[in-house]
Chain A
């Protein structure tokens, strides 16, 4: 409990200091990553994830690939406990985030979610202005000082390259932005809660090629400070930006490894078939 409090305090001091100092601070706090042991997920009577064991390397991009319905998105949701919202989902096993089992008895789900910035499949701005969208995270976590919030909002809008595009209309509704801009806004909004991890659930599948490129470039830039886990349905995207690949099929992890090795020298027949396009 003490350590999470410390974490909250220090991550919010980030708002008052520059981005670079923030990075070093974050490095001191977060040298841990995600470790999953014997994870099983059932939705009603269906066994969706089957005995998943996995370690996700920190400060890099891990892409989860596999045919639709293989459990990629379900897996992602177990990491920020979004399954809590659906009572029909049953989860067993352990997910260690920073050496703490987030399914343990004394874990506060809010602290867990605050560590995970989520980027959904379709950008979904909240029903408020551009500014308030980014300020949403800091505000719900109790930041009241206007100056600190202003600074955070500008900092992250700049970071995702949106500030120059929206600076004269930050007080206007976010829904009037283009869909690519909306997705960058959602990324800024996620970053503003000062997470340690970024989860992307097919975050570029609704975007045009140019916006996709911008988001991918941001992911590559972000991996210096964050551990990034992306579900993707395009192999080419995984090839372009991933450092590690996890291949899932029917709820099981078939193969996992560094990108180059995975694509050039897959070990399992199933992986070879998938990569050659025998099924998708």
Chain B
């Protein structure tokens, strides 16, 4: 009886270990299978040429990924530049200023926002943001813009990641002990001084972590961005040019490339690139966070 219990205990332990390892292996398996599928095109062409060329003519056999890589970065960058101040200020308001009732109203609404399917954001972007840029914003800066632009993608993406950022940051700010803000307030600091000098300072690593998470999401967001970005395989020279991020490339062309092996392999390479970007980016930010925490151990 006792032996059976011990055996069960052991079995449970190894079962869970196995499942855990399987989850991690999954990441590896996905990465490897993408890599092997992308291998033919990398054998056929120099990888550096693939990455740095802007020529994308699949039917002639030219596969230059630069426009897609740049579009991915530009769109995500614009999204985070717009979303960060919005979400930091909103979460500070919710955490330090808002009354309980306001918070009780806001927080479920924000959670709801992050649950809206991306395609709805895409439709909204097409109906409002794209015309707004084409008719009102772009004419101030450039001669012509269709509205289907990097900027439109960035704005729609920003709207999509703001709820995510807010709900993480509210948690980050909430984790600051009340004694700490009280210590600042009791010395006669105003709320705003306390926010600037204590709350933001204390939560800097949390804010960075939230940003990383949001950016990872932004890199991979497909549907909404695809709908408003214009999808032209050219290097965008301004935010009023059309862009073509990697996920949109894959989603748009997967299926129709089956007749051409090198095209298929090229698309697999773009998926692999996206995978590597997200993994590298996560690793890099983890490293930076560690550095920050080590340097300012507050």
Chain A residues packing against B (C-beta within 8 Å): 80, 82, 85, 87, 110-111, 113-114, 116-118, 120, 122, 124, 126-128, 136-137, 140-141, 173-176, 186, 189-190, 193
Name the residue on B nearest A192 (C-beta). B187
Interface segment among B38-46, B104-112, B194-202: the answer is B194-202
Is A126 touching B188 in the complex (CB atoms < 8 A)? no
* Contact residues, B156-201 vs A (CB, 8 A): 177, 179-180, 182-190, 193, 197-198, 201
Going nearest first, the 3 A-B pairs with the smallest beta carbon separation are A127-B298, A114-B188, A113-B188
Enumerate chain B residues within 8 angstroms of A114, measured Cβ to Cβ.
Answer: 187-188
Other-chain residue from A110, A126, A137, A173 in contact with B180 (beta carbon distance below 8 A): A126
CA distance A179 to B214 in the complex (A): 37
Other-chain residue from A85, A111, A124 in contact with B183 (beta carbon distance below 8 A): A124
Is B186 touching A126 in the complex (CB atoms < 8 A)? no
Known contacts A87-B100, A113-B187, A114-B187, then 13 further A-B pairs from the complex at CB < 8 Å, ordered by chain A residue = A82-B186, A85-B182, A110-B190, A113-B186, A117-B187, A124-B182, A126-B198, A127-B180, A127-B198, A136-B189, A140-B188, A175-B297, A186-B183
What does DSSP make chain B's interface, helix, strand, loop or mixed?
helix
Is A82 touching B179 in the complex (CB atoms < 8 A)? no
Given A136-B197, A140-B189: A126 touches B297 (CB 8 Å cut-off): no
A6 vs chain B, min Cβ distance (A): 17
Name the residue on B nearest A175 (C-beta). B298
Other-chain residue from B179, B190, B193 in contact with A124 (beta carbon distance below 8 A): B179
CA distance A190 to B183 in the complex (A): 9
CA distance A27 to B272 in the complex (A): 75
B296 contacts the other chain (CB 8 A): yes
B99 contacts the other chain (CB 8 A): yes
CA distance A116 to B193 in the complex (A): 18
B82 vs chain A, min Cβ distance (A): 28
Enumerate chain A residues within 8 angstroms of B100, measured Cβ to Cβ.
Answer: 87
Is B183 touching A120 in the complex (CB atoms < 8 A)? yes
Name the residue on A nearest B194 (C-beta). A140
Is B179 touching A173 in the complex (CB atoms < 8 A)? no
Enumerate chain A residues within 8 angstroms of B182, measured Cβ to Cβ.
Answer: 82, 85, 120, 124
Bitwise, B58-72 to A at CB < 8 A (1) or not (0) is 000000000000000
CA distance A116 to B296 in the complex (A): 30
Other-chain residue from A122, A137, A174 in contact with B187 (beta carbon distance below 8 A): A137
CA distance A168 to B183 in the complex (A): 25
- Residue of B180, B187, B189, B197 contacting most chain A CB atoms (<10 Å): B187
CA distance A116 to B186 in the complex (A): 8
Enumerate chain B residues within 8 angstroms of A116, measured Cβ to Cβ.
Answer: 186
Name the residue on B nearest A116 (C-beta). B186
Enumerate chain A residues within 8 angstroms of B198, measured Cβ to Cβ.
Answer: 126-127
CA distance A191 to B214 in the complex (A): 43
CA distance A243 to B292 in the complex (A): 48
Query: Can you list 6 pairs linking A and B with CB atoms under 8 Å apart?
Result: A110-B188, A114-B188, A127-B198, A127-B298, A140-B190, A175-B298
Enumerate chain A residues within 8 angstroms of B99, measured Cβ to Cβ.
Answer: 87
Other-chain residue from B185, B187, B296 in contact with A85 (beta carbon distance below 8 A): B185
- Residue of A127, A128, A140, A175 contacting most chain B CB atoms (<10 Å): A127
CA distance A186 to B186 in the complex (A): 12
Is B180 touching A189 in the complex (CB atoms < 8 A)? no
Bitwise, B90-121 to A at CB < 8 A (1) or not (0) is 00000000011000000000000000000000
A88 vs chain B, min Cβ distance (A): 9
Is A127 touching B202 in the complex (CB atoms < 8 A)? yes
